[in-house]
């Protein structure tokens, strides 16, 4: 029987699907330092991970019987993908499974930003019962998303899901992508109706210059942040920005400076430099809406991730 270690967990739907196909799956977490020994001792042929576990050259070299490494979600920056494949390991992920969940979190941050929920939810428990009227006055300058322009940087699966929700809210959508020139966006309505839109991508400068809100959906690169001092300078004064992609895509120091100087009005961050120990200055900033890297953390997305991984594993082993 083929044994699978889901080291960072997997949904019950994924467990059921794998079990039905004849696999033996274990979900007990093994620490990084013990992982090589456990994989070899227990003869695991499949290792499933999320962001908590890394698969680097040392593990690949030390575990010759490993056939598959699966990453639940999109990014695979915690896996030495090329090296693994060169050594005969099939590396799989689930790029489409969490797109809707991430897109909805973007709008959770956007709504929270424009109505100051990130600040109100901190202050109401402390002084809501004693300073209600002053708190109310401090949040009178809320804004509506309808009629505003959202700039989407990175117009792949997640960016296009963000576009669908923005269009549904009556927002104007502009986008930038290094590899995609245009995308056809189709909205599916509750009554079965459909409406399609074609969005042509623009230069990064044009998107930054014309957006009321910017949201990032690009991978992290080694050279520099996608949004730094120069890029923030191109943005509208009073704009907002959301990063639910990867830590390091935004220069956090430049972001805090821009917020302090009121060049930007607010930011929403789901990802951070130095995870899982982000800067206390970022965490304490009074103009940032914060979540702890939960873009894909919905029950629906976890079920899709689990079943998609199960199907790919079954295909690999001809089950």
Q: How far apart are CA 269 and CA 255, in angstroms?
A: 11
Active-site annotation holder among 20, 42, 262, 275: 275
Active site residue 304: no
Tokens of 132: 């209600």
CA distances to 42, 65, 80 from 76, rounded to whole Å, are 25, 21, 8
CA distances to 192, 252, 255 from 287, rounded to whole Å, are 40, 13, 11
Q: How far apart are CA 207 and CA 22, in angstroms?
A: 50
Active-site annotation holder among 85, 115, 293, 316: 293
Tokens of 231: 């890029």
- The pLDDT of residue 82: 97
- The pLDDT of residue 77: 87
Residues of the chain with pLDDT under 70: none
DSSP track, 218-279:
----SS--SB-HHHHHHSPTTEEEEE-S-TTSB-HHHHHHHHHTTSEEEEEES--TTTTS--
pLDDT tens for 78-135 read 999 999 999 999 999 998 899 999 999 999 999 999 999 999 999 999 999 999 999 9
| Contact present, 175 and 159 (Cβ < 8 Å) | yes
List, in sequence order, every residue forming a beta bridge with 267; answer none if it has no partner.
Answer: 241, 288
Region of residue 11 (phi > 0: left; psi between -120 and 50: alpha; otherwise: beta): beta
- The pLDDT of residue 73: 85
Tokens of 76: 């695979």
Active site residue 176: no
CA distances to 118, 215, 246, 252 from 225, rounded to whole Å, are 25, 14, 10, 9
- The pLDDT of residue 114: 98
CATH of the domain spanning 3-94+299-316, picked from 3.40.50.300, 3.40.50.720, 3.40.50.2300, 3.20.20.70 = 3.40.50.720
| Contact present, 4 and 15 (Cβ < 8 Å) | no
Residue with tokens 């059921």: 16
Going from N- to C-terminal start, the domains of the chain cover 3-94+299-316, 99-290
Active site residue 71: no
List, in sequence order, every residue forming a beta bridge with 288; answer none if it has no partner.
Answer: 267
- The pLDDT of residue 295: 94
Alpha helices, H only, the chain: 12-20, 32-42, 57-62, 81-86, 99-114, 117-127, 132-138, 157-168, 204-210, 229-234, 252-260, 280-284, 299-316
- The pLDDT of residue 123: 96
Fold match between domain 3-94+299-316 and domain 99-290 = yes
* Burial class (CB within 10 angstroms; exposed 0-12, middle 13-18, buried 19+) of 149: middle
Residue with tokens 């020994």: 37
Active-site annotation holder among 71, 157, 246, 285: 246
The CATH fold assigned to 99-290 is Rossmann fold (3.40.50)
Residue 158's nearest CA partner among 137, 183, 138, 141 is: 183
Q: How far apart are CA 76 and CA 312, in angstroms?
A: 16
3-state DSSP assignment of residue 83: helix
């Amino acid at each position: 029987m083929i044994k699978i270690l889901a080291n960072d967990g997997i949904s019950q739907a994924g467990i059921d699907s794998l079990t039905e196909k004849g696999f033996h799956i274990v979900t007990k977490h093994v620490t990084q330092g013990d992982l090589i020994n456990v994989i070899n001792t227990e003869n695991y042929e499949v290792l499933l991970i999320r962001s908590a576990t890394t698969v680097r050259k040392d593990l690949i070299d030390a575990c010759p019987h490993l056939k598959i490494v699966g990453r639940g979600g999109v990014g695979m920056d915690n896996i030495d993908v090329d090296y693994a494949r060169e050594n005969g390991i099939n590396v799989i992920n689930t790029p489409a499974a969490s797109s809707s969940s991430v897109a909805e979190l973007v709008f959770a941050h956007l709504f929270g930003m424009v109505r100051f929920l990130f600040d109100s939810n901190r202050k109401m428990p402390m002084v809501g019962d004693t300073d209600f009227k002053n708190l109310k006055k401090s949040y009178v300058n809320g804004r509506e998303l309808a009629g505003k322009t959202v700039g989407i940087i990175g117009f792949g699966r997640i960016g296009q899901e963000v576009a669908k929700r923005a269009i549904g809210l009556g927002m104007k959508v502009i986008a930038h992508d290094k590899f995609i020139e245009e995308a056809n966006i189709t909205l599916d309505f509750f009554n079965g109706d459909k409406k399609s839109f074609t969005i042509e991508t623009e230069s990064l400068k044009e998107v930054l210059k014309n957006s009321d809100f910017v949201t990032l959906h690009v991978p992290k690169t080694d050279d520099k942040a996608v949004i730094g001092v120069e890029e923030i300078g191109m943005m509208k004064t009073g704009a907002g920005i959301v990063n639910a992609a990867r830590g390091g895509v935004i220069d956090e120091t430049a972001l805090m400076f821009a917020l302090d100087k009121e060049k930007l009005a607010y930011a929403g961050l789901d990802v951070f430099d130095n995870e899982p120990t982000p800067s206390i200055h970022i965490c304490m900033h009074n103009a940032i809406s914060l979540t702890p890297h939960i873009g894909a953390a919905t029950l629906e997305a976890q079920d899709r991730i689990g079943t998609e991984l199960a199907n790919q594993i079954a295909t690999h082993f001809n089950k």
